A and B are shown apart, each in its own frame.
Chain A
Amino acid sequence: MSIIVDKISYIYEEGSSMERLALDNISCVIEQGEFIGVIGHTGSGKSTFIQHLNGLLKANKGHIYYNEQDIYAPDFKMQELRKHVGLVFQYPEHQLFESTIFKDVCFGPKNLGFSDKDTQIAAFNALRQVGLDESLYYQSPFDLSGGQKRRVAIAGVLAMKPDVIILDEPTAGLDPKGRDEILDCVKKLHDEMKITVILVSHSMEDVAKYVDRIMVINDGKLVFNNEPKAVFARHEELEKIGLAAPSVTYIMEDLYKAGFDVDRSAITIEEAKNSILNLLK
């Protein structure tokens, strides 16, 4: 699996007074097994970008290649792409519609033409992967809590057995506990199922701990595309575009300036703790 994005641009409402360039000449490569964070403040174009990766939006300019195939070629099957690249929208709980949770999760695989048995197995596995309690499977999805609903919606995409899963702000509107649960669950999917994950967020804090690579989008342009440490090292530039490095980075920076020889590239609380403890030994 690989996705190559080649200089794509996208314009909303082309030709009207509301015309807006939402993506400006973005290029990148996504490889099998990566865990990528897409970051930018609200309105920077993150959601627009990821909708290109499974063909829901078509770029005005540029090309996207999935496994070396041009997805805009006339004979390319979008349905096939959507099977391999699963997209979980922001507030995915708003898409639930079936009478029971289990049936809702079956919707995706059934659309893809899985047999009844395969559909049920896939739905069952997906629900287990997101850690939903078995007693809930045959209840109405509308009676669940916000965090639970979101997990059902994620299971709805997982059941399609995608190679890549894209999550658009999966933690929006959740309390810290719900947030950690979702992110840990995603991390587990990546580690155990070897799924490629693209996590969209506007919070560095959220993603720092999990991702291998960060793509920062600002005003439709890809401004950074590097590993977390390298991106956070340039926190002054990040601040200029309305983002910030995790707070730990700032603490370590201040400690360093105050004359302590700590590891300035620490980005998680764990790393920072170890570095400080080492110093105190």
Chain B
Amino acid sequence: MLRDITLGQYYRANSLIHRLDPRVKLLGTLIFIISLFLGQSIWLYALITVALIAVIKLSKVPLKYITKGMKSIVILVIISAAFNLFLTDGEVIFRFWKLTITREGIYQCVFMIIRLIYLICGTSIMTLTTTPTNLTDGIEKGLDFLNKIKVPVHEVAMMMSIALRFIPILMEETDKIMKAQMARGADFESGNLVKRAKALIPILVPLFVSAFRRANDLAMAMEARCYHGSEGRTKMKPLKYKSRDHKAYIALGVYSVLVIAISIFMKGRFI
């Protein structure tokens, strides 16, 4: 049940995308997200689609796995699509009671759906192909320059990586506690809202107790190994760019240029 949430989970495989430096993937995801919002031309979206499909194919993550994560945002997509469909001004093509649908509304709605789906796909690809440790390593190294203005980059990255590391552990724990309470006859599925909310107490209390216990143990273990933050700390596996990373940067550059060119050239037009 809880395992259906793929967002933020790592998919083990050995592919080019998996091996890329996390900094490349982070920048790539950022550029991808920006490119989604650079206009509404068919050609732009054709380019984005080709790029996305190519990356998914290269990553060897089954499409089924990516779409599984999509289920959790279906409602969000439907709501924002509805808002766009009914609340956009323009040339009216359909009127029903108080609802009007305009040509612009339909365009907006379609693009909105595509954008949201691509957004989830793009970010899932990054988290599915990068281990949490690698990801925070990438963020830490990539944001190194912020150290100069006294932002504790290492500490924030460490907090992030610990939090990410704990997601699967706590999910597993929730699963176990739920099962244990079900074995004691607990019922999480029936009853009204109040009853269901109450049914969560036997899960939440043990879960919090265990989260605190784990946090405490971890703090103790870190202390015991003399952890003291970033100062003078070296890495066992420092991030180093390889030739594939340089090639990926070039590909990213070409992609950016194409996206910018199309969006300038097609400004304000659909086709």
For window 83-126 of A, CB contacts with B under 8 Å fall at 83, 86-89, 92, 94-97, 107-108, 111-112
For window 137-182 of B, CB contacts with A under 8 Å fall at 173, 176-177, 179-182
* B184-A156 in contact (CB<8A): yes
A190 to B180, CA, bound (A): 22
A137 an interface residue at 8 Å Cβ cutoff? Answer: no
A142 to B184, CA, bound (A): 19
List of A residues within 8 angstroms of B205 by Cβ: 97
Query: Assuming A89-B179, A92-B180, A97-B201, is B185 touching A111 (CB within 8 A)?
Result: yes
* A157-B184 in contact (CB<8A): yes
B209 an interface residue at 8 Å Cβ cutoff? Answer: yes
Interface of B is mostly: helix
Query: Assuming A18-B12, A94-B206, A95-B206, is B3 touching A107 (CB within 8 A)?
Result: no
List of A residues within 8 angstroms of B186 by Cβ: 107, 111
| Closest Cβ–Cβ distance, residue B175 to chain A (whole Å) | 10
Sorting the interface of chain B by its residue count into under 10, 10 to 19, 20 to 34 or 35 or more gives 20 to 34
| Closest Cβ–Cβ distance, residue B176 to chain A (whole Å) | 7
* A82-B185 in contact (CB<8A): yes
* A112-B64 in contact (CB<8A): no
Q: B177: which of A13, A82, A94, A160 is its contact (CB, 8 Å)?
A: A94
Q: A95: which of B3, B180, B187 is its contact (CB, 8 Å)?
A: B180
A13 to B6, CA, bound (A): 12
| Closest Cβ–Cβ distance, residue A59 to chain B (whole Å) | 16
Nearest CB to that of A85 among chain B residues?
Answer: B183
Query: Assuming A89-B176, A97-B205, A142-B209, is B13 touching A111 (CB within 8 A)?
Result: no
B11 an interface residue at 8 Å Cβ cutoff? Answer: yes
B65 an interface residue at 8 Å Cβ cutoff? Answer: yes
List of B residues within 8 angstroms of A54 by Cβ: 183
| Closest Cβ–Cβ distance, residue B71 to chain A (whole Å) | 15
Nearest CB to that of A166 among chain B residues?
Answer: B183
For window 109-150 of A, CB contacts with B under 8 Å fall at 111-112, 142
List of A residues within 8 angstroms of B216 by Cβ: none
Q: A160: which of B182, B185, B187 is its contact (CB, 8 Å)?
A: B185
Nearest CB to that of B183 among chain A residues?
Answer: A87
* A79-B187 in contact (CB<8A): yes
List of A residues within 8 angstroms of B64 by Cβ: 15
A51 an interface residue at 8 Å Cβ cutoff? Answer: yes
List of B residues within 8 angstroms of A17 by Cβ: 11-13
A83 to B182, CA, bound (A): 10
Contact with A along B67-84 (1 / 0, CB 8 A): 000000000000000000
* B187-A107 in contact (CB<8A): no
| Closest Cβ–Cβ distance, residue B2 to chain A (whole Å) | 12
* A157-B183 in contact (CB<8A): yes
List of A residues within 8 angstroms of B11 by Cβ: 16-17
A230 an interface residue at 8 Å Cβ cutoff? Answer: no
Nearest CB to that of B204 among chain A residues?
Answer: A97
A: residues with CB less than 8 A from B are 13, 15-18, 51, 54, 56, 79, 82-83, 86-89, 92, 94-97, 107-108, 111-112, 142, 156-157, 160
